[in-house]
Amino acid sequence: MTKSLSEFASRSPGPGRATRLTVDLAAVVHNYRVGQQATGPEVALWPVVKADGYGLGALPIAKALREAGAPGLCVALVEEAAALRGAGVTGPLILLSGLAGAAPGQLAGLDVQPFLYEPRGALDTLAGLPPGRGLSVHVKVDTGMGRLGLSPEAVPDFLEALDRLGDRIRPVGLVSHLACADEPARPETARQIEILETLLRHPRIAPRGLRVSMANSAGLLAHPGARGHWARPGIMLYGSSPFYPAADWRAAGLRPVVTWTSRVAQISEKPAGTPLGYGHTHTTVRPSRLAQVPVGYGDGYNRRLGNRAQVLAGGTRAPVVGRVCMDLITVDITHLPQVGVGDPITLLGRDGEEFISVEEMAGWLDTIPYEVTCALGRRVPRTYRTVGDS
Ligand SMILES: *Cc1c(COP(=O)(O)O)cnc(C)c1O
């Protein structure tokens, strides 16, 4: 009888895939505390774990932050809220992207608090809730982001329309989002704060005692006037500075969260003048030692990193040469004669004295750290390090 593949695999478990991600939950919790220290205890920090925790794994991160005292969490979509609930995450969940097609029945069981910004759709959906539900909702105002939100003038009427839904809902908050908080010198942030404060003094709004939130990571770190009652840190929790490229994680006292490693699969020696890889985009200029490393754009190692990025081998930087393939990169290790097959290669994180941050990789790609972690491939196995792990 022929053996099935799974039988074969179970007989030779092996060490698992050479390419893996380690997410340091203790660092996430440290970064949360950095935020809390900046704001003081009177501002509640509700971590943002949308887009699967910026690509790093919403569930373990959500659990670690709830255990560390986070009063609630923010996600973008109702599907994300349902996934966290299904996995046992407790506490209220903010829906940053609002109702976004959610059915009233879906909302009722989840203990979610949507941001509302599109009056007609919101009123129609919320009218479908059972009386007495008391779903907490936050009204989103566009104070200058030019994106989601009601205009400030439309807010009083909308709040009164919400009142007419009776005890199905409770309008508990007024929220807005900052457009330029990551560049602290720009004047737009103060203007946005002023618009929200003016709205809060409006005679049809002031008596409501609404809870206010404007700040993302940059807002809560750099703009005390934007802190409100509660803030929504995202990127800083994941170990990158919201002020990149002006500043990096070190300046904010953050701890890096991601380590991405692989191992050398093959080493070859090539004479000078040897063209390498798809399209022959790199040709050796001297007799070269080349390492093949089993990671590629199929794992979220961006194809534009070819002939641009560096990795760490034996505590030293080494360039990625030629094109990035779906499953492989080639690294020039001519200057590292001690590196052999099976030795570790660090794509992100520390090796000895050297360190490659998410921010540095974002710089190679002319993008922001958010996109680097969001793009990390689901194919890469993840390990979560908790407080007690070494
Ligand atoms: C994603 C998001 C945040 C978090 O922003 P960071 O810059 O990652 O801190 C906060 N508020 C809203 C509305 C968001 O969409």
**Domain range annotation of the chain:** 25-240, 258-356
Q: Is 217 in the pocket of ligand 1 (CB under 6 A)?
A: yes
**pLDDT tens, N- to C-terminus, the chain (390 residues):** 444 444 444 444 456 899 999 999 999 999 999 999 999 999 999 999 999 999 999 999 999 999 999 999 999 999 999 999 999 999 999 999 999 878 888 887 899 999 999 999 999 999 999 999 999 999 999 999 999 999 999 999 999 999 999 999 999 999 999 999 999 999 999 999 999 999 999 999 999 999 999 999 999 999 999 999 999 999 999 999 999 999 998 888 999 999 999 999 999 999 999 999 999 999 999 999 999 999 999 999 999 999 999 999 999 999 999 999 999 999 999 999 999 999 999 999 999 999 999 999 999 999 999 999 999 999 999 999 996 664
Q: Which two tokens stand for residue 146?
A: 């030019």
Is 50 marked active-site? Answer: yes
Q: Which residues contact 31 (CB under 8 A, 6 or more apart)?
A: 236, 237, 238, 239, 254, 255, 257
Ligand 1 touching residue 318 (CB < 6 A): no
Q: How far is the CA of 50 from the centre of ligand 1 (A)?
A: 9
Is 270 exposed, middle or buried, given 0-12, 13-18 or 19+ CB atoms closer than 10 A? Answer: middle
d(CA 288, CA 117): 59
In the three-class reduction of DSSP (H, G, I as helix; E, B as strand; rest coil), residue 65 is classed as helix
CA atoms within 13 A on the CB side of 224: 5
Name the burial class of residue 1, with classes exposed (0-12), middle (13-18) and buried (19+) by CB atoms within 10 angstroms of its CB. exposed
The model carries a pTM of 0.94
Q: Which residue among 32, 50, 140, 238 is the active-site one?
A: 50
CA dihedral 104, 105, 110, 113 (to 10 degrees): 10
Phi and psi at residue 142, in whole multiples of 5°?
A: -90, 100
Which atom of ligand 1 lies closest to the CA of 217? 9
For ligand 1, whether the C-beta of 234 sits within 6 Å is: yes
Contact 214, 193 (CB under 8 A): yes
Peptide bond into 245 cis (omega under 30): yes
Would you say the CB of residue 97 lies under 6 angstroms from ligand 1? no
CATH hierarchy code of domain 25-240: 3.20.20.10
Instruction: Clarify whether 278 is annotated catalytic.
Output: yes
From the CA of 180, how far away is ligand 1's center (Å)?
A: 12
Separation of alpha carbons 304 and 320, rounded Å: 11
Distance 48 CA to ligand 1 centre (A): 7
CB 249 within 8 A of CB 243: no
Q: Count CB-CB contacts under 10 A for residue 105.
A: 10
What would be the CATH architecture of the domain defined by 258-356?
A: Beta Barrel (2.40)
Are both 25-240 and 258-356 of the same fold? no
Nearest to 189 by CA among 151, 227, 238: 227
CA of 216 to the centre of ligand 1 (A): 5
Helix (H, G, I), strand (E, B), or coil: what is residue 383? strand
- Residue position matching structure tokens 């990795």: 311
Q: Is 233 touching ligand 1 by the criterion CB < 6 Å?
A: yes
Q: How far is 254 from 223, CA to CA, in rounded Å?
A: 18
